[in-house]
Amino acid sequence: MSDDLNKKMKHNPRDYKFRWGVSIVPIVFFLIVLVTGIAIPGQFNKVLDKGVMFVMKDFGWFISLTTLFLVFFCIVLLVHPVGNIRLGGAKAKPEMSTFEYFALSLCGGMATGLILWPTAEMVEYTARPPKAFGAEPMSYEAIIDALEYEWTHWSLTPYALYTAFGVVAAYTIYNLKKSYTPSSVLYPLMGERMGNKTKSVTDVICLFAILGGVSGSMGYGILQLGSGLEYLYGIKADLVSWIAIAAVITVFYISTSVSGLKKGITWLSKNNTYLFFFFLAFVILFGPKSYMFNLTSEALGQFVRDYIPFMTVQDVSVSSDLWPQWWNNIWMLDWVAFAPMTGMFIATLSKGRTLKEVVLVNMILPSIFAMVWFGMFGGFAAHTQFVMGEDFLSVLDAHDHSYMQLFSMSYLPLDVIMKPLLLITQLISFVTMANSMTSTVSKMTITTGKEYTSEEAPMKIKIFWGVLMASIAVLFIWSGGLDGAKSVKAITGFPVFILELAAVVGFIVFFSKGKAPEKRKKEEYEYENEDPETGMLKEYFMKEEPKKSTGIRKENKNHAG
């Protein structure tokens, strides 16, 4: 009997417990939010705005400096020997190809954002640049700065927040053999001192952030699809259509999860990535190549120069326009709300990879792709607005950000075909993101027994979380549009900044003090043939203390002679 068949026969789908202690508080909180948002939407939005501004203005410095620290942490892992540690041990093998791994990272993280923002942010930032950097609205300097802001928001920064959490989570789960929960990332810092109360409180905080983050991002996706359907087919984007879209999407991504994370979602992600490359090649082939590449090249040089100032700007002057708060800080809070969930998702995919590979595939490669993507589509939007003289700004003001990318396809050939295809790409991106989110949240809110051998949570748990998060998403876009979604993500994301900073600092201290098992092996054993790729030892030879000579041993030796 094969191992796989034997494993399936032993699997008991009832051998699990729902973590009510961790789940009930966020569930009750968001149910109260649902009722409050429906009953008194005006007051509800005012409370959200006050909470967001308190976090962004009083703790903006902490948000930006912590994010910058996490970016540099990931970069250091690419060159530090710790980056050679293999997740799961020296003999562990990856379960998927590198391209599949990259596709899952790209699409499971923020593929919907890549579709939503290139044109919208280029127009927004060029027309209304931040006062802190002094560019004149609609000037060439503002165009270059706009592309830099897009890269700041959609390349290294968000992927570093996801990857840093994922690195610590994956190492703790696979190499230190801790449970598949966000609280495990604190083990390198706290060790056995971390009791059940600390674990539960940490997981509750993460679940708060995840529910807020997922609901907000689902809100983005619903708005995108609603705007696309209205633009292409005249279906009015209102509460009824949003509920219908949410219902269809929920059924779609829950049904695709039946085949499991590493089958259904891998297939979706691979094909979605092919579509991304197709659209990138299309805009390069038919767009203003010289303008797009030259603009991207010039912006790249300035991005390297300006990255740290852009990351740390707070503009506390009396005449501040609060741009750093409403764009930079809120985006960082937005992403970090996803860090526990996306980090756990990365951990799920990363067994058999080195820490260096985790950073390379989950941060560096998606960042490069995002920079090229925004450079081409952002450059195309700038060319259409400023060289061709089309008034994208009026279109943006008359509609919203979710409308712009689809509208910009009108200025490329074959738009009758390309617009519906882009809408399909949005749909697949949304389903892929929602699938990964629901699978991860469902898995981390159950405790499994020895007979529960499946890598997936039970379907009824997935349905529960999928319906709850979709419901919250509809509430936020109904009561506050994108601002409502962004606000709740910002408020729920802030505690995660503290958690992720503690986890990464603990990880660094863990290795610096020689507590890691990989470090102890090198100290306790003589070895040869260290594998330069993994940093592990191919052969071990136990050190032996020199034996003291005894009379008996000497006598035996002489007798033998």
- The per-residue DSSP string of 296-312 comes to HHHHHHHHHHHHHHHHH
- When mean pLDDT is compared across 189-198, 290-299, 315-324, the lowest value belongs to 189-198
Q: What is the CA radius of gyration of the chain?
A: 26
For tokens 């985006």, the residue is: 331
Q: Read off the pLDDT of each residue in 399-421 and give the average, rounded to a whole number.
A: 91
The neighbour count for residue 99, using CB atoms within 10 Å, is 12
Q: Rounded distance, CA 208 to CA 489, Å? A: 9
* Per-residue pLDDT, 311: 95
Decide: 79 and 73 in contact? Cβ < 8 Å. Answer: no
Per cent of the chain over pLDDT 90 is: 45
Q: How confident is the model at residue 547 (pLDDT cuts 50, 70, 90)?
A: very low
Q: Read off the pLDDT of each residue in 425-449 and give the average, rounded to a whole number.
A: 84
Pick the residue with more confidence: 212 or 58?
A: 58
* Per-residue pLDDT, 481: 52
Pick the residue with more confidence: 183 or 214?
A: 183
Per-residue pLDDT of 379-397, as tens digits, reads 999 999 999 999 999 999 9
The neighbour count for residue 478, using CB atoms within 10 Å, is 18
Pick the residue with more confidence: 548 or 500?
A: 500
- When mean pLDDT is compared across 156-160, 249-253, 343-347, the lowest value belongs to 249-253
Q: Which is nearest to 295 in space by CA: 412, 152, 147, 156? A: 147
Q: Which is nearest to 356 in space by CA: 107, 154, 76? A: 76
> What residue ranges do the domains of the chain occupy?
17-448+465-515, 526-561
Alpha helix positions (H), 324-400: 330-349, 355-359, 365-382, 392-398
The sign of the torsion formed by the CA atoms of 542, 546, 552, 557 equals positive
Residue 274 has pLDDT above 80, yes or no: yes
The neighbour count for residue 327, using CB atoms within 10 Å, is 18
Decide: 370 and 80 in contact? Cβ < 8 Å. Answer: no
* Per-residue pLDDT, 334: 84
For the domain 17-448+465-515, what is the CATH code? 1.20.1740
Per-residue pLDDT of 5-38, as tens digits, reads 344 445 687 788 998 888 888 888 877 776 776 7
For tokens 């083990």, the residue is: 187
Q: Read off the pLDDT of each residue in 417-429 and give the average, rounded to a whole number.
A: 90
Residue 518 has pLDDT above 80, yes or no: no
Q: Rounded distance, CA 498 to CA 344, Å? A: 17
Q: How confident is the model at residue 94 (pLDDT cuts 50, 70, 90)?
A: very high
Residue 482 has pLDDT above 60, yes or no: no
Residue 314 to residues 132, 157, 262, 310, 498, Cα–Cα distance (Å): 8, 17, 42, 9, 19
How does strand 537-542 pair with strand 525-530?
Answer: antiparallel
* Per-residue pLDDT, 469: 82
* Per-residue pLDDT, 78: 97
Pick the residue with more confidence: 401 or 358?
A: 358
Q: How confident is the model at residue 372 (pLDDT cuts 50, 70, 90)?
A: very high
Q: Mean pLDDT over all residues of the chain?
A: 84
* Alpha-carbon torsion, ordered 28, 32, 33, 38, to 10 deg: 140
Q: What is the DSSP letter of 176?
A: S
* Per-residue pLDDT, 451: 82
Pick the residue with more confidence: 550 or 194?
A: 194
Contacts of 504 (CB under 8 A, 6+ apart): 69, 70, 73, 164, 168
Q: Which is nearest to 327 in space by CA: 166, 120, 159? A: 120
* Per-residue pLDDT, 535: 46
